[in-house]
């Protein structure tokens, strides 16, 4: 099969970007979308042209590196898949396919389809952890956790940190990403001690980075390669509300 | 060169405790005066960097990824072993130790493996405390599953994504230290050389992937936790960016490379579907419990599997190994699949595949039961191939999955270069000639969280007077070396893209240094690699410049290193004139085609010294002495 690609090219964050039209010929429908890009890049390289820069690594949908907006959809067609799990059989011979980076102000373009997602790391650094020094943990079975709680925490923890939720949201909101990590740790007994500071700090860092507010339309969950539920946003909002109230109360008590 | 393993004296069970009591300490107020470089941010690297930060050291951590959370530890599926004996099935440190050393076919160092088993229990405690959502039973306690090579149930897991959850746990600990300012994180920064000052590792040279800027970084010690080198084969279950550059450039600077030929090839992966293929995906071995493996009896039979009548099928594992059948050990199953494909009886468009057929199981148990047991795996298979394994058999083929070899280290995880430490898959120390399932995660976390934080102090306490700054001429020389490699790659302007050479090298490695090896084949492989390496440097085309985000240039540097490492792997396989674990020399097999070990002549670690790209490397031996363990023949019948 053959397809025509309209690919976003941009040399770096400072230069203006543009769409370049490239032909991808003699494709096998069993190829992955990224393998199709490999083939196009091989031809570009053989012509001594710069290949299309795109992020990828594990190519099995778990590392969260790949980040293509395909025909306007973060991670392209298909439910619950990352860009690397899209196959050419999802397209028709002769299709024109638009490929863009994950677009969001807090994700500046590095080159072509590669964006800078360090804002996500900063959010985790501000509170997405349990404070425990190596070697100081009690026996793992000392704290039983109900199976339902552990399973729900795992549902949230499945997040791969790709940023599709942000790219899918018209407000470029990172609420699903933040909610997934905050909920996972806040619902486990190990994370209870830092429950309030965690959610307050993570949300503050998220706001500083320039991510927008939730639209309540849940495009994030629909685009999520791990189908993380928007319910976690509700849980985070609850945690945030109570944490803010408790903080205010504590401050007043201190001042009195 | 005499290799000093520096194992502590005394009985195996007491060595580590004794060692911890005896090694030198760095006093808390002095720790902040030391700088440590950690390269890599997988389980071992993140664990080490986080713990160093907690202890008060100044840490710089480097990764070529955009974030430390992307390291390929994330892709491990099955689980992590630990001798907790929560199942009350008689597990113990001694038993985990014995299973691991036996699984490695008695080619690993006794003391290191025992320590691994010993600290395994602490890993689970620590990870649970970090908020890793391990699977639990209804009572709220941790659940376990069974894994290959063991008769107890000691594998902890988090659905089918244990590696992801453990890595994110280690990443959260690292992130906390980054936030506190004890660890300076350098994402998108790739190590391209090691710097030695007066024979000690005192820094590295890195290239920033976004700007191309080359920078020198000085420190009191360098820790490499950069993973394995299976991508020498081009096609593997590794991530596309996993590479050997950090350890290979350290090897070129004098670090010995141990047992490079020990490569694990996993029997059940989704086969190659064409020349463009970039990646092979693992399908859990558990499928072999209910699936039957077969190929057509006739060479070149291209009929659809449903059209091939029962008596024209060859269930070759059941035929050759009637007692084990489809559950024959990994290495045997892999080799048998290769054999039938070599005979021209492989299936699928490329002829490199065998059927894993569930139709009998579906007839016997019903589709619902099979869906319940393997539903997610059938889904993955469907996603990749577009085929339903409920209707027609899966096609599978073996793929490169893990490398047991790596840089040589002593008991303290220090290489033969003082101040250079190597952790996780990047070192050679714990898995011998074959790694058991669920042991890679265990080793990464053990090395990073629970071994190196202690053993590095022993070196640092002794090297107070040996400090270096980036002003030293050794840094300038190393930067020049890096720049000259880059220039050479960019200025060649030949006819072929890098991927062409990588694919060619992969084919040579797979054919000559893959599942079955022979003297003639390896010698031929070496000649072919030497020829290909020459062609690479004459005919590679790398577009663009150094001073920009240039993925073609990154790839070129890595493939250039594979061109040298591949040859060393063949040399090591040639030198090891026995079969053991994953290393199967056709000349040495039992009547039943089992690996025939030769303990008299080969019970050693082969540690290779680099002498120049086109010069023959020199092998140094570390004799393996089994003081408390009986070297038995692995018996799977």
Q: Which one-letter DSSP state was computed for residue B450?
A: I
Residue pair B256/B405 in contact (Cβ under 8 Å)? The answer is no
Are A45 and B172 an interchain contact pair (Cβ–Cβ within 8 Å)? no
Task: Write down the pLDDT at residue B373.
Answer: 76
Are A65 and B65 an interchain contact pair (Cβ–Cβ within 8 Å)? yes
Residue pair B24/B34 in contact (Cβ under 8 Å)? The answer is no
Per-residue pLDDT tens over the stretch B601-611: 999 999 999 99
Distance from CA of B389 to the nearest CA of A (A): 16
CA distance B247 to B208: 18
Closest CA to B200 of B86, B37, B401: B37
Which whole number is the average pLDDT over B384-394? 93
Which chain B residue's Cα is nearest to A189? Answer: B131
Task: For each of the domains in chain A, give its residue range(s) and CATH number, in order of start.
Answer: 3-111 (3.10.20.30), 118-255 (1.10.1060.10)
Looking at per-residue pLDDT, the higher value among B77 and B212 belongs to B212
DSSP A161-215: ---HHHHH-TT-B-HHHHHHHHHHHHHSGGGGGGHHHHHHHHHHHHHHTT-B---
Q: What is the mean pLDDT of chain B?
A: 94
Q: Which of B51, B59, B65, B74 to mutate to test the interface with A (most CBs of A within 10 A)?
A: B74
Q: Which residues contact B246 (CB under 8 A, 6 or more apart)?
A: B39, B40, B191, B224, B226, B426
Closest CA to B398 of B239, B268, B233, B263: B268
Are B273 and A28 an interchain contact pair (Cβ–Cβ within 8 Å)? yes
CA distance A78 to B606: 49
Task: Write down the pLDDT at residue B173.
Answer: 98
Task: Write down the pLDDT at residue B470.
Answer: 95
Q: Tally C-beta pairs within 8 A across A and B.
A: 226
Compute CA distances B370 → B77, B373, B384, whole Å. Answer: 20, 5, 19
**Whole-prediction pTM:** 0.96
Q: Nearest Cβ partner of B67 from A120, A134, A190?
A: A120
If you search the block for the tokens 């001594």, which residue do you land on? A48
CA distance B113 to B118: 9
Q: Nearest Cβ partner of A48 from B74, B124, B541?
A: B541
Q: Which two tokens stand for residue B518?
A: 């022979």
Which chain B residue's Cα is nearest to A148? Answer: B138
Distance from CA of A256 to the nearest CA of B (A): 31
Per-residue pLDDT tens over the stretch B158-203: 988 999 999 999 999 999 999 999 999 999 999 999 999 999 999 9
Are B159 and A154 an interchain contact pair (Cβ–Cβ within 8 Å)? yes
- Give chain A positions within 8 Å (CB) of B140: 144-147, 150
CA distance B84 to B34: 36
Task: For each of the domains in chain B, give its residue range(s) and CATH number, in order of start.
Answer: 265-398 (3.90.700.10), 474-597 (1.20.58.100)
- Give chain A positions within 8 Å (CB) of B47: 134
Compute CA distances B558 → B61, B232, B245, B246, B489, whole Å. Answer: 20, 9, 6, 9, 11
Q: Which two tokens stand for residue A135?
A: 């070697």
Closest CA to B258 of B604, B549, B510, B612: B604
Are B549 and A114 an interchain contact pair (Cβ–Cβ within 8 Å)? yes
- Give chain A positions within 8 Å (CB) of B450: 134-135
Phi/psi at B249 (nearest 5 deg)? -65, -35
Task: Write down the pLDDT at residue B536.
Answer: 98
Residue pair B468/B474 in contact (Cβ under 8 Å)? The answer is yes
- Give chain A positions within 8 Å (CB) of B449: 134-135
Q: Which residues contact B79 (CB under 8 A, 6 or more apart)?
A: B145, B147, B155, B156, B157, B162, B437, B438, B441
Q: Nearest Cβ partner of B125 from A38, A138, A157?
A: A138
Distance from CA of B599 to the nearest CA of A (A): 38
Distance from CA of A245 to the nearest CA of B (A): 25
If you search the block for the tokens 């694990």, which residue do you land on? B264
Q: Which residues contact B168 (CB under 8 A, 6 or more apart)?
A: A157, B69, B74, B132
Q: Which of A27, A54, A140 to mutate to test the interface with B (most CBs of B within 10 A)?
A: A140
3-state DSSP of B225-239: CCCCCHHHHCCECCC
Which whole number is the average pLDDT over B134-152? 88
Instruction: Inform me whether the pLDDT recorded for B636 exceeds 70.
Output: no
DSSP chain A: --EEEEEEE-SSSSSPPEEEEEEE-S--TTSBHHHHHHHHHHHHHHTT-PPPP---SSSSSSS----EEETTEET-SSSS--GGG-BGGGS-TT-EEEEEE---TTS-EEETTEE--HHHHHHHHHH-S----TT-PPPTTSS---HHHHHHHHHHHT-----HHHHH-TT-B-HHHHHHHHHHHHHSGGGGGGHHHHHHHHHHHHHHTT-B---SS-HHHHH-TT---THHHHHHHHHHHHHHHHHHHHHHHHH-
Are B47 and A134 an interchain contact pair (Cβ–Cβ within 8 Å)? yes
Instruction: Inform me whether the pLDDT recorded for B372 exceeds 90.
Output: no
- Nearest-5° angle of CA A154, CA A157, CA A159? 135
Which chain A residue's Cα is nearest to B501? Answer: A42
Q: Nearest Cβ partner of A147 from B136, B386, B552?
A: B136
- Give chain A positions within 8 Å (CB) of B386: 29-30, 87, 89
Instruction: Inform me whether the pLDDT recorded for B635 exceeds 70.
Output: no
Per-residue pLDDT tens over the stretch B507-533: 999 999 999 999 999 999 999 999 999
Residue pair B417/B199 in contact (Cβ under 8 Å)? The answer is yes
Percent of chain B at pLDDT exceeding 70:
99
Per-residue pLDDT tens over the stretch B561-608: 999 999 999 999 999 999 999 999 999 998 877 889 999 999 999 999
Are A147 and B138 an interchain contact pair (Cβ–Cβ within 8 Å)? yes
Distance from CA of A99 to the nearest CA of B (A): 18
Compute CA distances B267 → B283, B327, B395, B485, B582, whole Å. Answer: 9, 11, 12, 38, 12
Q: Which residues contact B83 (CB under 8 A, 6 or more apart)?
A: B91, B92, B93, B95, B96, B117, B120, B121, B154
Are B450 and A57 an interchain contact pair (Cβ–Cβ within 8 Å)? no
Distance from CA of A151 to the nearest CA of B (A): 7
- Nearest-5° angle of CA B191, CA B192, CA B197? 90
CA distance A5 to A20: 8
Distance from CA of B2 to the nearest CA of A (A): 35
Which whole number is the average pLDDT over B227-242? 97
- Give chain B positions within 8 Å (CB) of A85: 383-384
- Give chain A positions within 8 Å (CB) of B451: none
Dihedral angle of Cα B114, B117, B121, B126, to the nearest 10 degrees: 90
- Give chain A positions within 8 Å (CB) of B179: 125-126
Task: Write down the pLDDT at residue B482.
Answer: 98
Looking at per-residue pLDDT, the higher value among B287 and A185 belongs to A185
Are A137 and B128 an interchain contact pair (Cβ–Cβ within 8 Å)? yes
Q: Which two tokens stand for residue A33?
A: 């979308």
Q: Which one-letter DSSP state was computed for residue B426?
A: G
Number of H helices, E strands in chain B: 18, 19
If chain A, 256 residues long, is cut into consecutive pieces of 10 residues, what is the mean pLDDT of each piece? 98 96 95 97 93 97 97 96 96 98 97 98 98 97 97 97 98 98 98 98 98 97 98 98 93 78
- Give chain B positions within 8 Å (CB) of A178: none
CB atoms near residue B209 (< 10 Å): 23
Q: Which of A33, A106, A129 to mutate to test the interface with B (most CBs of B within 10 A)?
A: A129
Which chain A residue's Cα is nearest to B169? Answer: A129
Q: What is the ipTM of this complex?
A: 0.98
Task: Write down the pLDDT at residue B322.
Answer: 83
Residue pair B413/B239 in contact (Cβ under 8 Å)? The answer is no
- Give chain A positions within 8 Å (CB) of B453: 134
Task: Write down the pLDDT at residue B469.
Answer: 93
Q: Nearest Cβ partner of A35 from B141, B277, B550?
A: B277
Q: Which residues contact B182 (CB under 8 A, 6 or more apart)?
A: B52, B53, B54, B56, B57, B58, B59
- Nearest-5° angle of CA B229, CA B234, CA B236? 70
> What beta strand segments (E) does B332-467 contain?
354-357, 394-403, 406-407, 420-422
CA distance B428 to B185: 27
Q: Which of B43, B61, B135, B164 to mutate to test the interface with A (most CBs of A within 10 A)?
A: B164
Are B70 and A65 an interchain contact pair (Cβ–Cβ within 8 Å)? yes
Q: Which of B16, B162, B383, B553 to mutate to test the interface with A (most CBs of A within 10 A)?
A: B383
Instruction: Inform me whether the pLDDT recorded for B327 exceeds 80.
Output: no
């Amino acid at each position: 099969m053959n397809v025509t690609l309209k690919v976003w090219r941009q040399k770096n964050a400072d230069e203006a970007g543009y769409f370049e039209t490239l032909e991808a010929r003699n494709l096998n429908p069993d190829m992955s979308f990224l393998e199709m890009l490999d083939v196009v890049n091989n031809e570009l390289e053989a012509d001594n042209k710069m290949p299309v820069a795109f992020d990828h690594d594990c190519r099995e949908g778990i590392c969260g590196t790949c980040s293509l907006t395909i025909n306007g959809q973060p991670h392209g067609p298909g439910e619950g898949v990352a860009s690397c799990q899209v196959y050419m059989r999802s397209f028709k011979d002769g299709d024109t396919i638009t490929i863009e980076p994950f677009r969001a102000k807090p994700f500046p373009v590095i080159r072509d389809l590669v964006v800078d997602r360090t804002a996500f790391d900063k959010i985790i650094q501000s509170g997405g952890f349990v404070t425990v020094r190596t070697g100081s943990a009690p026996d793992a079975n000392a704290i039983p956790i109900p199976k339902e709680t552990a399973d729900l925490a795992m549902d949230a923890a499945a997040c791969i940190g790709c940023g599709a939720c942000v790219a899918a949201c018209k407000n470029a909101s990172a609420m699903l990403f933040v909610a997934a990590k905050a909920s996972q740790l806040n619902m486990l007994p190990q994370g209870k001690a830092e429950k309030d500071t965690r959610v307050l700090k993570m949300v503050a860092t998220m706001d500083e980075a320039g991510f927008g507010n939730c639209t309540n339309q849940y495009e994030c969950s629909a685009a999520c390669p791990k189908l993380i539920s928007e319910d976690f946003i509700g849980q985070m909002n609850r945690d945030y509300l109570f944490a803010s109230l408790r903080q205010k109360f504590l401050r007043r008590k201190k001042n009195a | 060169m005499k290799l000093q393993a520096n194992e502590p004296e005394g009985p195996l069970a007491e060595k580590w405790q004794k060692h911890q009591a005896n090694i030198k300490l760095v006093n808390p107020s002095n720790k902040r005066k030391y700088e440590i470089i950690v390269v890599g941010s997988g389980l071992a690297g993140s664990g080490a960097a986080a713990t160093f930060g907690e202890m008060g050291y100044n840490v710089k951590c480097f990764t070529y990824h955009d974030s430390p959370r992307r390291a390929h530890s994330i892709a491990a599926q099955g689980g992590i072993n630990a001798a907790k004996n929560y199942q009350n099935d008689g597990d113990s440190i001694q038993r985990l130790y014995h299973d691991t050393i036996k699984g490695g076919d008695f080619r690993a160092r006794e003391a290191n493996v025992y320590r691994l088993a010993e600290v395994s229990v602490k890993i689970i405690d620590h990870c649970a405390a970090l908020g890793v959502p391990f699977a639990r039973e209804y009572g709220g306690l941790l659940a376990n599953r069974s894994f290959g090579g063991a008769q107890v149930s000691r594998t902890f897991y988090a659905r089918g994504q244990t590696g992801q959850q453990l890595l994110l746990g280690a990443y959260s600990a690292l992130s906390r230290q980054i936030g506190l300012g004890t660890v300076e994180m350098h994402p998108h920064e790739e190590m391209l050389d090691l710097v030695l000052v007066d024979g000690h590792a005192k820094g590295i040279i890195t290239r920033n992937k976004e700007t191309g800027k080359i920078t020198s970084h000085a420190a009191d010690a360098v820790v490499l936790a950069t993973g394995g080198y299976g991508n020498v084969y081009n096609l593997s279950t590794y991530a596309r960016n996993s590479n050997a550059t950090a350890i290979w450039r350290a090897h070129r600077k004098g670090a010995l490379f141990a047992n490079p030929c020990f490569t694990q090839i996993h029997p059940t992966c989704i086969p190659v579907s064409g020349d463009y293929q970039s990646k092979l995906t693992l399908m859990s071995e558990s499928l072999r419990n209910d699936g039957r493996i077969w190929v057509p009896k006739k060479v070149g039979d291209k009929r659809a599997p449903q059209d091939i009548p029962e008596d024209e099928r060859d269930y070759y594992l059941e035929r050759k190994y009637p007692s084990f059948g489809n559950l024959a050990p990994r290495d045997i199953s892999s080799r048998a699949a290769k054999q039938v494909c070599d005979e021209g009886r492989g299936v699928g468009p490329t002829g490199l595949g065998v059927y894993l057929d569930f139709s009998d199981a579906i007839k016997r148990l019903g589709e619902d039961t099979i869906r319940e047991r393997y539903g997610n795996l059938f889904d993955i298979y469907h996603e990749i191939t577009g085929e339903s394994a409920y209707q027609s058999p899966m096609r599978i083929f073996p793929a490169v999955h893990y490398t047991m070899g790596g840089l040589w280290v002593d008991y303290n995880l220090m290489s033969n270069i003082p101040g250079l430490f190597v952790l996780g898959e990047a070192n050679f120390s714990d898995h011998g000639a074959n790694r058991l399932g669920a042991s890679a995660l265990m080793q990464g976390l053990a090395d990073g969280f629970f071994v190196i934080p202690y053993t590095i102090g022993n070196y640092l306490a002794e090297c107070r007077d040996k400090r270096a700054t980036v002003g030293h001429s050794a840094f300038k020389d190393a930067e020049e070396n890096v720049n000259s490699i880059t220039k050479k790659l960019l200025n060649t302007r030949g006819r072929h893209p890098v991927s062409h050479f990588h694919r060619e090298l992969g084919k040579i490695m797979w054919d000559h240094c893959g599942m079955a090896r022979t003297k003639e084949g390896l010698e031929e492989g070496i000649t072919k690699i030497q020829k290909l390496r020459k062609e690479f440097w004459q005919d590679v085309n790398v577009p663009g410049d150094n001073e920009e985000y240039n993925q073609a240039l990154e790839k070129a540097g890595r493939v250039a290193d594979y061109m040298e490492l591949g040859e060393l792997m063949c040399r090591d396989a040639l030198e090891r004139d026995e079969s053991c674990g994953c290393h199967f020399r056709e000349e040495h097999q039992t009547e039943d085609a089992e690996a025939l070990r030769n303990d008299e002549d080969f019970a050693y670690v082969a540690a290779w010294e680099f002498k120049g790209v086109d010069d023959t490397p020199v092998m140094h031996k570390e004799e393996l002495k089994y003081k408390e363990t009986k070297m038995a023949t692995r018996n799977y019948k």
